[in-house]
């Protein structure tokens, strides 16, 4: 007799839920899915959903605060933090009751098992449930166990209550002031949200800019915007010690001391692979995750690892979801489906900062200085941005040998408009061709068309100049 299951999925977050939907709902495989907490994972409970919900409330507060700019009487908004926090829980509840409800997966034919899984054989997963241990025999195992916040070993950190993305959203209300250690996307989004909601916030980042993986010029401008909104941004500053004091927490840094009621740490992640037992079967694991190739295969042919649990993979919901479906395709329809060539991302501040492909510096390093051209559109010259009063930002397009290899936007809705440029990178489109698409006026994205139009005008001019010279000298 063969194994009971075609596929056992460990972890029902961004990767696991999509894999279950595809494997059971679309392909009709016999699937078991093990989850030790509520379905939805980091994205629903501690990540994307609560942070974006918070940012939405913060945007409203900011609009009220700055309404005068639009000829409407505004003023300092009265923010009910309990209600703001309750709203995030409400939105989470709506998703948990619909898209991420266990019964939705059961209706697809998935055996949803509540418990903690371990890999106990090449084709076996053991689950510890409230009722005892259950052994699942399976042809394939897909591990999507996610990651958790890494709390750095700063002197004294164990002596204070540390907030992270895991517990911030479970509070009834946030502290009255915050120091954040780390200036990656988590702290950057939360710092703007907090300050707009009236919670004084200091950000301590050891690098010279926020979101250091993004296009430096745009990251610097975002930092400037956050400063103007009131974030006490301390760049090139490292937290060295933490202690109780001043009715809260004192953070000692290389640039002085900072005090607040609460301390939030967002200094990166640790993959949830340490106690899975993967290493016993020859799969190397570390804090970065389990070793996988570009198709998320481990050294064990029937065990795949995707999402935040995989080492050196982009840590985003969309990346986990794409890789999870690709892994199932690979298991049951080998060779079908493409690994993600390009994973764009966006930091959902206001304005948003979106990223696809190479930064200008990365392009120069890869393609050579003289083969790289950087094109830009300033929102200050964009009619829609003028009308909306959102002229702070730019769209930057990086081309190498006339093909687009990178795109970066600091703009309202940058996370939406970056897709067009990501597609251009994916299919090797040239900057000239951007103007082949008639862009809707007035949109921010029309700036992309303008980059293309200016470029083809430029190319045409150069072409005509060369033709003229060759007529004269040829
Ligand atoms: C504050 C914050 C904001 C974010 N914002 C964004 C955003 O805007 N956009 C974006 O794309 N990404 C965002 N992310 C990142 C995103 O949340 C993660 O990249 C994504 O959720 C990873 O998906 P995953 O499937 O790998 O893991 P998860 O979705 O975390 O799922 C892992 C699941 O596995 C379960 N599990 C773990 N171990 C076991 C075990 N042994 N047995 C059974 N179950 C187990 C866990 O309980 C969990 O449910 C954000 C993250 C944070 C923290
Ligand atoms: N909008 C989004 O897509 C989004 C939003 C939030 C998080 N995420 C995902 O979650 C991941 C984790 O985010 P994150 O912000 O925790 O991590 P991160 O690794 O991206 O950033 C951590 C930052 O902390 C700094 N740091 C580390 N130790 C420090 C110290 N002792 N003192 C001062 N600074 C220190 C680092 O220089 C770094 O910039 C991200 O990489 C991203 O993949 C995505």
The class of domain 149-267 in CATH terms is alpha beta
In SS3 terms, the chain reads as: CCCCEEEEEECCCHHHHHHHHHHHHHCCCCEEEEECCCCCHHHHHCCHHHHHHHHHHHHHHHHHHCHHHHCCCCCCCCCCHHHHHHHHHHHHHHHHHCCCCHHHHHHCCCEEEECEEEEEECCEEEEEECCEEEEEEEEEEEECCCEEECCCCCECHHHCCEECCCCHHHCCCCCCCEEEECCCHHHHHHHHHHHHCCCCEEEECCCCCCCCCCCHHHHHHHHHHHHHCCCEEECCCCEEEEEEECCEEEEEECCEEEEECEEEECCCEEECCCCCCHHHHCCCEECCEECCCCCCECCCCCEEECHHHECCCCCCHHHHHHHHHHHHHHHHCCCCCCCCCCCCEEECCCCEEEEEECCHHHHHHHHCHHHEEEEEEEHHHCHHHHHHCCCCCEEEEEEECCEEEEEEEEECCHHHHHHHHHHHHHCCCECHHHHHCCCCCCCCCHHHHHHHHHHHHHHHHHHHHHHHHHHHHC
Q: Are 23 and 325 in contact (CB under 8 A)?
A: no
The ipTM, to two decimals, is: 0.98
Is 11 labelled a binding residue?
no
Per cent of the chain over pLDDT 70 is: 96
Share of the chain above pLDDT 90, in %: 92
Residue 161 CB neighbour total at 10 angstroms: 11
285-299 b/e (C-beta count within 10 Å ≥ 16 → b): beebbbbbeebbbbe
Whether the pLDDT of residue 51 is over 60: the answer is: yes
Confidence of residue 462 (pLDDT cuts 50, 70, 90): low
What is the mean pLDDT of the segment spanning 34-58?
Answer: 98
* Closest ligand, as measured to the CA of 237: 2
Structure confidence at residue 473 (pLDDT): 42
pLDDT at 408 over 70: yes
pLDDT over threshold 50, residue 470: no
469 has a pLDDT exceeding 50:
no
Q: Which ligand is nearest to the CA of 50?
A: 1
Closest residue by Cα to residue 248 from 212, 279, 213, 202: 202
Q: Tell me the per-residue pLDDT of 128-186, one tens digit each, with 9 for 90 and over.
A: 999 999 999 999 999 999 999 999 999 999 999 999 999 999 998 899 999 999 999 99
In this prediction, residue 281 has a pLDDT band, given cuts at 50, 70 and 90, of very high
Q: Which CATH architecture has domain 351-462?
A: 2-Layer Sandwich (3.30)
CA 269 to ligand 2 center in whole angstroms? 8
Fold matches, 5-40+100-148+270-332 and 351-462: no
pLDDT at 246: 80
Mean pLDDT over 9-22 rounds to 98
In the reported structure, the alpha carbon of residue 119 is separated from the centroid of ligand 1 by a whole-number distance in angstroms of: 20
Q: Is 186 annotated as ligand-binding?
A: yes
Q: How far apart are the first and last CA of the chain?
A: 81
Rounded distance, CA 404 to CA 422, Å? Answer: 9
Tokens found for residue 227: 């400063």
Q: Whose CA is nearest to atom 41 of ligand 2?
A: 315
How far away, in angstroms, is 443 Cα from ligand 1 center? Answer: 33
Tell me what pLDDT residue 247 has: 86
Q: How much is the average pLDDT of 365-374?
A: 97
Q: Please tell me whether 261 is known to bind a ligand.
A: no
| pLDDT for 27 | 97
CA–CA distance, 395 with 13 (Å, rounded to integer): 33
Q: Does 413 score more than 80 pLDDT?
A: yes
Number of Cβ within a 10 Å radius of residue 336: 9
Pocket test for ligand 1, best of 12, 17, 21, 47 (most atoms within 8 A of CB): 47
- Record the pTM: 0.96
85-140 per-position pLDDT tens digit: 999 999 999 999 999 999 999 999 999 999 999 999 999 999 999 999 999 999 99
Predicted local distance difference test score (pLDDT) of residue 223: 98
pLDDT at residue 453, as a whole number: 82
Is 30 annotated in a binding site? The answer is no
In the chain, where the domains are located: 5-40+100-148+270-332, 149-267, 351-462
Arithmetic mean of pLDDT, 37-41: 98
Cα distance between residue 473 and residue 194, in whole Å = 66
Name the fold adopted by 5-40+100-148+270-332: FAD/NAD(P)-binding domain (3.50.50)
Residue 340: the pLDDT is 84
CA distances from 449 to 344, 388, 400, 436 (A): 20, 19, 18, 8
Average pLDDT of span 413-427 = 97
């Amino acid at each position: 007799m063969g194994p009971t299951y075609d596929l056992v999925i460990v972890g029902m977050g961004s990767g696991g839920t999509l894999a279950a939907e595809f494997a059971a709902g679309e392909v009709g495989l016999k699937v078991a899915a093990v989850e030790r907490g509520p379905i939805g994972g980091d994205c629903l409970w501690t990540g994307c959903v609560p942070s974006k919900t918070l940012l939405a409330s913060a945007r409203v507060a900011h609009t009220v605060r700055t309404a005068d700019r639009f000829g409407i009487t505004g003023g300092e908004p009265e923010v009910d933090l309990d209600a703001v926090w309750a709203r995030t829980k409400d939105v989470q509840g709506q998703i948990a009751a619909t898209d991420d409800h266990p019964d939705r997966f059961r209706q697809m034919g998935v055996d949803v098992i509540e418990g903690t899984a371990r890999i106990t054989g090449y084709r076996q997963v053991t689950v510890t449930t409230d009722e005892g241990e259950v052994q699942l025999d399976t042809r394939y195992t897909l591990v999507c166990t996610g990651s958790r916040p890494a709390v750095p070993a700063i002197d004294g950190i164990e002596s204070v209550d540390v907030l992270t993305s895991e517990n911030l959203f479970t509070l009834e209300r946030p502290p009255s002031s915050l120091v954040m250690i780390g200036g990656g996307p988590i702290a950057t989004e939360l710092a703007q949200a907090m300050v707009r909601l009236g919670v004084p916030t200091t950000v301590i980042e050891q690098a010279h800019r926020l979101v250091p993986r993004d296009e430096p010029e745009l990251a610097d401008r975002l930092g400037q915007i956050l400063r103007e909104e009131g974030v006490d941004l301390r760049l090139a500053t490292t937290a060295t010690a933490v202690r109780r004091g001043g009715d809260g927490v004192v953070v000692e840094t290389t640039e002085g001391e900072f005090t607040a009621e609460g301390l939030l740490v967002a200094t990166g992640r640790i993959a949830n692979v340490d106690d899975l037992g993967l290493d016993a079967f020859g799969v190397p694991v570390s804090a970065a995750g389990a070793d996988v190739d570009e198709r998320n295969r481990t050294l064990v042919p029937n065990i795949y690892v995707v999402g935040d649990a995989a080492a050196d993979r982009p840590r985003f919901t969309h990346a986990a979801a794409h890789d999870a479906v690709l892994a199932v395709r690979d298991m049951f329809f080998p060779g079908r489906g493409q690994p993600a060539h390009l994973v764009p991302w966006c930091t959902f501040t206001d304005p948003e900062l979106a990223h696809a492909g190479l930064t200008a510096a990365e392009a120069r390093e890869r393609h050579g200085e003289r083969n790289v051209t950087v094109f830009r559109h300033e929102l200050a010259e964009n009619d829609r941005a003028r009308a909306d009063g959102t002229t702070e930002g730019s769209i930057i397009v990086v081309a190498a040998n006339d093909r687009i290899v990178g795109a970066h936007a600091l703009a309202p809705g940058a996370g939406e408009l970056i897709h067009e440029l990501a597609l251009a990178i994916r299919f090797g489109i040239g900057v000239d061709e951007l103007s082949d698409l008639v862009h809707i006026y007035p949109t921010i994205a029309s700036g992309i068309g303008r980059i293309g139009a200016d470029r083809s005008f430029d190319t045409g001019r150069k072409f005509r100049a060369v033709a003229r010279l060759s007529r004269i000298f040829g």
